[in-house]
Amino acid sequence: MQIFFLGTPEGAAFTLQALLREGFEIVGVLTRPDAPKGRSLHLSASPVKDAALEANLPVYQFEKASSPKSIEAVRSLEPDVIAVVAFGQILSEELLRIPKRAIINVHYSLLPRYRGAAPVHWAIVNGEKETGVTVQHLAKKLDSGDIILQEKVAISPDDTAGTLSEKLTEVGAALLVKALRQLEAGTAPRIPQDESQATYARKLTKEDGKIDWSLSAAQVVNRVRGMNPWPGAYTFFPEKEHRRMLKLLTVKAILERAGSPGQVLITKDRLVVTAGDGSVELLDVQPEGKRQMPAEEFLRGHPIAEGTILG
C-alpha cells in the first residue's frame, strides 16, 4: 500500500518515522516551504522535511496543498492513502478524491469534541481530565469525517500543552499505524460523528495568553498550563514608570484571598496574587527580556510591594 504523507512539525516527523519503521511504503511527503528562523532569519526546514530527507523520500514544498501544482504532483504518484498529521491547511475536494482508498487524518482530541486548530490547548484551559486521539477520514467540513479509531488519554494535573502533546503524539503514531493496517486489510470501520456533540477549538493568538485575574484560581492555573509553551501566559507588573510583561511558566492555586483580582498578597520569598476565587502562587516566571527564574529570584531583582495590582 503506497502512502503520501502531509505534515510539518516535530510531532508529524515522529509519526512519519513510525510509519517508516513499520515498513510502510511512503511515495512522497508534502510539508511547508522552508521558513526564516531565529535572529539571523536563515531559512530553516520543517522537522518533517528533515525526517523525509534522512529517509531519502521525495519532498514537496508547495505553499498550498490544494494548488494546481500540488494536485498534479500528488495525483502523478497514484497513492492508495494520503495520511495527514498536523498539516494545518483545509484540503480541497479535488485533493480528497485523489487516493484510491482513503485520505485520513490524525486529530488530537476525541472527536467530535474539540474540532479545530488547537484541541490540546483548549482541553487543558477548559479543565478537562481526559482527551485522546482520533484517526478519521477527511471530509470537506472541518474535522467532521467518519472515525476509524479513537484512544483516550488522561490529562495529568501538571500537564502543559507541551507535555500533553508529546503523550498524544506517541498514541497518535501507534493509532495511525493500526488504522493503516486495517485499511490495508479492508477492515477499517467508518463511524459517523454525532454533530450534536461537536465543539470547536479555535486557533490561538498571543492575546489568549493574557491572564484575566478575575477568573478563579483554578481557571488561571489551567490557562497557564494550556498556553505553555505557546503562546505563553503573561501578565504585567509595574517597574519605575513602565509596565513590563511577566511570563508565567509554573503556578499553583491556593486558598488565600484577601484582595481585588490581580492584587499581590505576598512578596516575602513568595509571589501570591489574588484571583476571582482564591489566589495563585507564581512559582516560575520570566520577566520581559530576561531568562526564566523562580519567583523568589525575580522578587530580589524586581521588588513588588504588597497591594500592587498586576495586569
More confident site: 43 or 61: 61
Q: Evaluate if residue 255 carries a pLDDT over 90.
A: no
The whole-number average pLDDT for the span 205-231 is 97
Domain spans in the chain, listed from the N-terminal domain onward: 2-201, 206-301
CA distance 311 to 303: 16
**Helix H segments across 111-153?**
119-125
| Nearest by Cα to 114 from 96, 134, 90 | 134
Q: Residue 19 above 80 pLDDT? A: yes
Q: How far is CA 129 from CA 76, 115, 150, 222, 269, in A?
A: 45, 17, 17, 11, 32
Round to the nearest angstrom and report the end-to-end CA distance of the chain. 55
Q: pLDDT grade, residue 26 (50/70/90)?
A: very high
| Mean pLDDT for the chain overall | 96
pLDDT in tens, 148-173: 999 999 999 999 999 999 999 999 99
What would the pLDDT profile of 168-189 be if each residue is shown by its tens digit? 999 999 999 999 999 999 999 9
Q: Which residues contact 266 (CB under 8 A, 6 or more apart)?
A: 256, 272, 306
Share of the chain above pLDDT 70, in %: 100
The DSSP output letter for 210 is B
- The residue with cell 484575566 is 212
Q: What is the largest CA-CA distance in the chain?
A: 68
For the stretch 35-55, pLDDT in tens is: 887 777 788 999 999 999 999
Q: Which CATH architecture has domain 206-301?
A: Roll (3.10)
Q: Is the pLDDT of residue 266 over 90?
A: no
Domain 2-201 classification at class level: alpha beta
DSSP class of residue 227 equals T
Residue 134 contacts residue 179 (beta carbons within 8 Å):
no
CA distance 9 to 51: 11
pTM higher than 0.75:
yes
Q: Is the pLDDT of residue 106 over 80?
A: yes
Q: What number is the average pLDDT over the span 296-311?
A: 94
Average pLDDT over every residue of 101-118: 98
Amino acid identity of residue 133, one-letter, is V
Tell me what pLDDT residue 292 has. Answer: 97
The DSSP 8-state label assigned to residue 32 in this structure reads P
> Of 40-54, 151-165, 215-229, 254-268, which range is least confident?
254-268
Per-residue model confidence (pLDDT) at position 41: 74
